[in-house]
Amino acid sequence: MKGRCNLELAAKDRIIVALDVPTLREAHLLAEQLGGYVGAFKVGLELITSEGAPQVVKEMKRFGNVFFDGKFSDIPNTVGNASRAVAQMGVWMFDVHASSGLGSMQAAVQNRGNSLVFAVTVLTSIDMNECVSVFGGFPNTKVIQLAGSAYEAGCNGVICSPKEVGDISKSFNGLLTAVPGVRPRWAATNDQKRIMTPGDAIKAGADYLVIGRPITSPPSETGDSIRAAQLIAEEIDQALAESGR
């Protein structure tokens, strides 16, 4: 799917909560609490390794859409088979590393079933110097290059930092963006390097915001997880209105 979806979404439905916890019990408690306040839940390597992917996906689907953050990176045959397996679980979205190559991304797309495929470009924990060391170029250059490969492969979208969203939107009409590295002004940055506030990320053109600790472990002065999600949704709503989206 290369045609851009006209995302007529409520602000809360643009929020993907990262359930970066080690147990299904912890994930269940968070998802049960937040189910009516966010659009989807991201389950990642820690949780699916600890508890088993089929069980995690089955449980989380009770509360909303599931983004399976497996970050597949392997030869095309392996990525294709893994993509088919996770798509059969009924996930809303899963991801593959763009750096695994065009063939691997194409294999993911060919075996995605009804799931969306997003390609990971450059992790938001990687700063400029490390990006040069790992990828041989600066983040803005390498992200656009990797996004171009994802677009050619037929991926539905890419995962990038909010710093690169604007360039991707201008360069690849139809490529959706899911953006980690989002931190409200009232939250700690933690290990994220290339960050932006929720409102600024939306104004830059982001379609979905992947947010973990600011919602799952908000500062005490902010309130509980529900209040944190509500504050972020309000900021998204305002940004959508101001940007005319």
- Residues labelled catalytic: 71
Question: Do residues 109 and 153 lie in contact, with contact meaning Cβ atoms separated by under 8 Å?
Answer: yes
Alpha-carbon gap, residue 92 to 89, rounded angstroms: 9
Q: How far is CA 198 from CA 6, 17, 107, 182, in A?
A: 20, 13, 33, 6
Alpha-carbon gap, residue 65 to 84, rounded angstroms: 18
Token pair of 21, please? Answer: 């916890």
Question: Do residues 50 and 244 lie in contact, with contact meaning Cβ atoms separated by under 8 Å?
Answer: no
Alpha-carbon gap, residue 214 to 228, rounded angstroms: 7
